[in-house]
Amino acid sequence: MPHRTFFAFIFPSILAMLLFITLPIISVAMQSLFVEHPAVVTEVENCGPFGCTTETKVDTEAMAKLKADQPMGAFAGFSNYLNHNHLAVDDLRAIFGDNRGIGDIVARVMNLPFYRALAFTLTYCFFVTPFAMALGFFIALAVNTMPKLLKGPAIFVSILPMIITPLVGSLILAWMFNPAGIFGATLQSLTGDPTLSLRASPVLTWIVILTYGVWTNGPFSFVVFYAGLQTVPKDTLESARIDGATRWQATRFVIIPHLMPLATFVALVQLMDNFRVFEPIVGFSAEANATSLSWLVFNDLVSQDSQQFGSAAATSVITIVGVLILLTPVLIRTWRDFNRKAV
Amino acid sequence: MNGQPLGLKTLTTAFLTLWLLAAVFPFAWTVWGSFKVEADFFSRQSWWFAIEGVRTVQQTGGTFTLAGYEGAWVQNEFWKAAINTLIVTLSVTTISLVVGTLGGYALARSGHRYAFWILIAALVFRAMPHITLVSGYLLPFFQLNIWGYLPTTIIVLVAINQPFTLWMLHSFFLSIPKDLDESALVDGCTRFQAFRMVIIPVMWPGVITTGLFSFLLGYNDFAVTSMLLRQENQTMIPKIASFLGSIQNEGNVMFAVAAVVSATVPLFILVLFFQRQIVSGLTAGAVKG
């Protein structure tokens, strides 16, 4: 295809991506180097019959002018990245300089907002991905043995948790785990602890959100593995059985190797997607016990009095770096595939 | 495999039953509960109240009540949000597909090295967390005075959706034999004529599958719509989120439950009718990478 035709065809697509994906990333990177203007304060002297009092006031006029002149805020260099709400370099130095053992270090680092969010994000990412894949694999094996007539309905029900809007799905579970909801109340009576609730217990919050993650991500693996199972070579399976392989051995040495390339693909995609975990934090109102990097950005942007663009941008850049790290294996794989095809 | 041993068969059946229950029960429970009053759905005495509707009978006289739906749809004007969602998702799907089929077709037929690099860039873009992009939109949108309008959100969702659409349609067009459009070119068609007269008639299965996923992206989005739309023209999902803040305090959490159920229904219908396409779409992405 000649270059001209190619670009004529792809131009709208490229334009959209340049304007709304590339530019915002650049704008975020720039924004992360600025902070909001500090309030301009003027001292006003009020002299009345009882003497003079000085009063400090925010000078709205000067503020407006400052904002119009420098809409991005005041230049701050890398201070957005290093301050208490992000990488917290000073706090870390203090913690490592003076502490009472590993437990103390962990407890204090986990109190820093950024590291708290990072810890939950990574836990979610690396817990949910393998467990959801295992769940999906077993569902696929089980559905595959069902009579034909029941397969359709089983697949229908199985993909519901995946297709559901993440916010809606997490709300539905959050209501059931409410202390007055069916699971919440049952948990309270089972443990004999009437104060047990998502709000009060960080451990329970983590467990419930991770469970939600497995529930909603399992079906994706199921669909992919189920399709993979349909292409397992029947001859190989049969000859394995004739050679005396048990059912388990046939699964272990024929089916799993056959599904391995699919599994790598699913793992990489899911790691990337789970790193963005955001809606469950909102849906479960879990911010007191569990936060994620995406949620930190959201929180900076919705804060009522002043939106913290600089701070949100710094977290965004760090998140993007994290995604790129997770993405590297995918890129290498695509690169290899492409070169193999080209040869 | 034929003739499973009885033990294994029992185990498989038990596991599958358990999973299917886990998959469907939360929805069934919430749909059922949305027709009860709050004192039943969030009963402090026993969850059995939610099934029998003891308080619902006491408060309304019937075992089922539409109070939640009335509160959400009429009092809180959820219908406005539903119309906005309809506008946003339909526009996003249509524009995504128009732009995406052209791009995907070009990528599948180019064969030049830069086509590969565009695909790689798209892969990287697809991985970007949406909320980080949103934090890049806000300031420029405020300054250009385009923040808060539906068209802005639609264009943004189309752009965010492009990487995925391009990849999917690209691999779909690869599966259509090259000879088809090339013979049209030999017969004297221009590229665009070949695309319009030869490719468009055969591309619908791929387009429908991709369209489903575009629809889902627009429908399920929370990060973009909640940050880029003002209160008056919110779509359903951010509207539900805003219910939580205001309604929970007034003891009308049932409005939110009814709204959630209402937002789930279209998805159920979608899966009911397009199950095969959704499954094949997910698999196509996986098998072809």
- Tell me what pLDDT residue A83 has: 86
Q: What is the mean pLDDT of chain A?
A: 88
ipTM: 0.92
Query: What CATH number belongs to A114-342?
Result: 1.10.3720.10
Quick: pLDDT tens for B233-258: 899 999 998 888 765 566 678 899 99
Which residues are CB-contacts of B124 (< 8 A; sequence separation ≥ 6)? A324, A327, A331
Contact between B275 and A159 using a beta-carbon 8 Å cutoff: yes
| A-chain residues near B1 (CB < 8 A) | 145, 237, 247
- On the question of pLDDT at A303 being above 80, the answer is no
* Residue ranges, CATH 1.10.3720.10, chain B: 72-288
> Is B139 within 8 Å of chain A by CB?
yes
DSSP A43-87: EEEEEETTEEEEEEEE-HHHHHHHHHH-TT-EE-TTHHHHSTTTT
Q: Considering only alpha carbons, which residue of chain B is nearest residue A335?
A: B120
Nearest residue on chain B to A152, alpha-carbon basis: B275
B90 to chain A, closest Cα gap in Å: 17
* Residue of A227, A313, A324 with shortest CB distance to B283: A227
Q: What's the pLDDT score for residue B250?
A: 63
pLDDT at B286 over 70: no
By Cβ distance, the residue of A72, A315, A320 closest to B128 is: A320
Q: Comparing A64 with B9, which gets the higher pLDDT?
A: B9
- What is the CATH class of B72-288? mainly alpha
Mean pLDDT of B66-75: 89
- The pLDDT value recorded for residue B289 is 39
How much is the mean pLDDT over chain B? 89
Question: Quick one: how far is CA A206 from the chain centroid?
Answer: 14
Q: How far is A145 from chain B (nearest CA, A)?
A: 7
What is the separation of C-alpha A222 from the centre of its chain, rounded to a whole number of angstroms? 21
pLDDT value at residue B258: 94
Of A220, A193, A196, nearest in space to A208 by CA: A196
| Helix, strand, or coil (residue B229) | strand
A114-170 pLDDT tens trace:
999 999 999 999 999 999 999 999 999 999 988 888 998 999 999 999 999 999 999
Pairing mode of beta strands A74-75, A51-58:
unpaired
Mean pLDDT for B68-91 is 92
Whole-number pLDDT of residue B236: 95
pLDDT tens-digit readout, A218-228: 999 999 999 88
Condensed to tens digits (0 to 9), the pLDDT of residues B214-224 reads 999 999 999 99
Confirm or reject contact between B121 and chain A (CB < 8 A).
Answer: yes
The amino acid at residue B253 is V
Per the structure block, which two tokens stand in for A258?
Answer: 């056959």
Of residues A342 and B87, more confidently modeled: B87
Does pLDDT of A326 surpass 50? Answer: yes
Q: What is the pLDDT of residues A285-300, one digit of tens each?
A: 898 899 999 999 999 9
Cβ of B132 and A13 within 8 Å?
Answer: no
- In this structure, are residues B264 and B196 in contact, taking their beta carbons and an 8 Å threshold? no
Exposure of B141 in the CB half-sphere (CA atoms within 13 A)? 24
**Dihedral angle, C-alpha B167, B168, B169, B172, nearest 10 °:** 120
Q: Please, are residues A265 and B103 in contact by the beta-carbon 8 Å criterion?
A: no
A320 has a pLDDT exceeding 70 = yes
The residue in chain A having the minimum alpha-carbon distance to the alpha carbon of residue B112 is A1
Percent of chain B with pLDDT over 70: 95
Q: Report the pLDDT value the prediction gives residue B23, as an integer from 0 to 100.
A: 95
* B191/A5 CB distance under 8 A: yes
**Residue in chain B nearest A342 by alpha carbon:** B111
What region does A70 belong to: left with phi over 0, alpha with psi -120 to 50, or beta? beta
Contact B106 A5 (CB under 8 A): yes
pLDDT of residue A1 exceeding 90, the answer is: no
Mean pLDDT of A2-12: 91
- What pairs with residue A74 in β-bridges? A35
Nearest residue of A to residue B155, measured between CA atoms = A16
Express each pLDDT in A167-190 by its tens digit: 999 999 999 998 888 999 899 989
pLDDT digits (tens, 9 = 90+) for B138-167: 888 988 999 989 999 999 999 999 999 999
pLDDT score recorded for residue B248: 59
B129 and A278 within 8 Å at the Cβ level: the answer is yes
Q: Residue B235 has what DSSP assignment?
A: -
Residue A342 has pLDDT above 80, yes or no: no
- B 34-93: CB under 8 A from A: 41-44, 46-47, 50
- Predicted local confidence at residue B285, as pLDDT: 61
Strand partners, A42: A57
Residue A192 bridge partners (DSSP):
none
- In sequence order, what are the residues at sequence separation of 6 or more whose Cβ sits closer than 8 angstroms to the Cβ of residue A63? A37, A39, A40
pLDDT at B2 over 60: no
The residue ranges of every structural domain in chain A are: 32-77, 81-111, 114-342
Q: How many CB pairs under 8 A join A and B?
A: 287
- Rg of chain A (C-alpha set): 27
Q: Is the pLDDT of residue A305 over 70?
A: no
Q: Read out DSSP for B185-221?
A: HHTT--HHHHIIIIIHHH-HHHHHHHHHHHHHHHHH-
Give the nearest partner residue to A294 out of B102, B129, B143, using CB atoms. Answer: B129
Contact B103 A14 (CB under 8 A): yes
A18-73 pLDDT, tens digit each: 999 999 999 999 989 988 777 777 777 777 777 777 777 777 777 778 777 777 77
Give per-residue pLDDT as tens, A222-254.
999 998 898 888 888 888 888 888 888 888 888
Tens of pLDDT, residues B178-205: 888 889 999 988 888 999 988 989 888 8
State which H helix or E strand residue A326 sits in.
Answer: helix A309-342
**A55-64, A280-289, B52-61, range with the lowest pLDDT:** A55-64
Is it the case that residue B119 has pLDDT exceeding 50?
Answer: yes
C-alpha A15/C-alpha B259 separation (Å) is: 37
